[in-house]
Amino acid sequence: MARPYRSVLYIPAANARAMEKAQGLPADAIIFDLEDAVSPGEKSAARDALKVALTGDYGPRARIVRINALDSAWGEDDARLCAGLDGYADAVLIPKVDSAADLDKVAALIPDTPLWAMMETPLGMLNAAGIAAHPRLAGMVMGTNDLAKELNSRFRADRLPMQAGLGLCLLAAKAHGKLIVDGVFNAFRDEDGLRAECEQGRDMGFDGKTLIHPAQLAIANECFAPTEAEVDLARRQIDAFEQASAEGRGVAVVDGKIVENLHVETARTTLDRAQAIAAMAG
């Protein structure tokens, strides 16, 4: 049963209060950020604060540490910290990954922890397949702010300028069986806007959404969970298909639509997700 990643909350590692608060927040995963949410003058203190914070009890929430790029002034120190975390982090997230070679460099410094890649540069989009294929890579995170900056694109509610990049990364992640979560929605008080973007991300196939504020958690958790109707349909599809198989038929019909093997696989995934989410809630 896979762990859910419906809601993946960024927390600046310089913010000790927020890191403590996250132990009680309904997030599936937390990204402890040493990169863009931490100012250059705070980098060293943030690293120290993170080391203390990670000894806290985050329960079933996945703990992901976003380091600075290795070619920055802070990246190697961040990598050294992660190499010594002894199981206190579930993954290390590498920013601005352009190619699989960027993962090799971090993999050499951090031998054991699974790696995740920020997908947020034009080169990263073009090399998404090679990045997703990397044996140490477990997941991808869309960095839609950086991507918009690099593209010089404008914000649009339908995210039309993002679609090529989002699609390439989704295809790459799915082709290699890796997790992939959508980018952040910056207007953290705009619930309708967030819901629309979560629905779009869910429709596209993302596993969840990265978030910047606790107020965004409930909407992401709801949008990326199977609905009651989906769970009910999944059960009925499985039952109907099993009955059809027992009668020697390869196709069943539910609610006027055909159900074949592949639909049953999707139905089982839906039930697994619902079960993983229930387990998360305790």
Ligand X SMILES: CC(C)(COP(=O)(O)OP(=O)(O)OC[C@H]1O[C@@H](n2cnc3c(N)ncnc32)[C@H](O)[C@@H]1OP(=O)(O)O)[C@@H](O)C(=O)NCCC(=O)NCCSC(=O)C[C@H](O)C(=O)O
Residue 214: contacted member of ligand X, Mg ion, none (CB under 5 to 8 Å, by partner type): ligand X
Q: Which is nearer to ligand X, 4 or 12 (CB)?
A: 12
Rule CB under 5 A: say whether 124 interacts with Mg ion: no
Q: Which is nearer to ligand X, 18 or 49 (CB)?
A: 18
Interface stretch with Mg ion, choices 67-75, 138-146, 162-170, 215-223 (CB under 5 A)? 138-146
Interface stretch with ligand X, choices 14-22, 50-58, 75-83, 151-159 (CB under 6 A)? 14-22
Rule CB under 5 A: say whether 146 interacts with Mg ion: yes
Mark residues 29-58: x for contact with ligand X by CB under 6 A, - for none: ----x--xx---------------------
Among 12, 75, 124, 143, binds Mg ion (CB under 5 A): 143
Task: Write the DSSP assignment of the chain as a string of letters.
Answer: -PPP-SEEEEEETT-HHHHHHGGGS--SEEEEESSTTS-GGGHHHHHHHHHHHTTS--TTSEEEEEPPPTTSSSHHHHHHHHHT-TTS-SEEEESS--SHHHHHHHHHHS-SS-EEEEE-SHHHHHTHHHHHT-TTEEEEEE-HHHHHHHHTPPP-TT-GGGHHHHHHHHHHHHHTT-EEEE---S-TT-HHHHHHHHHHHHHHT-SEEEESSGGGHHHHHHHTSPPHHHHHHHHHHHHHHHHHHHTT-S-EEETTEEE-HHHHHHHHHHHHHHHHHHHHH-
- Binding residues (CB under 6 A) for ligand X: these are 9-12, 17-18, 21-22, 33, 36-37, 118, 120, 143-146, 183-184, 188, 212-214
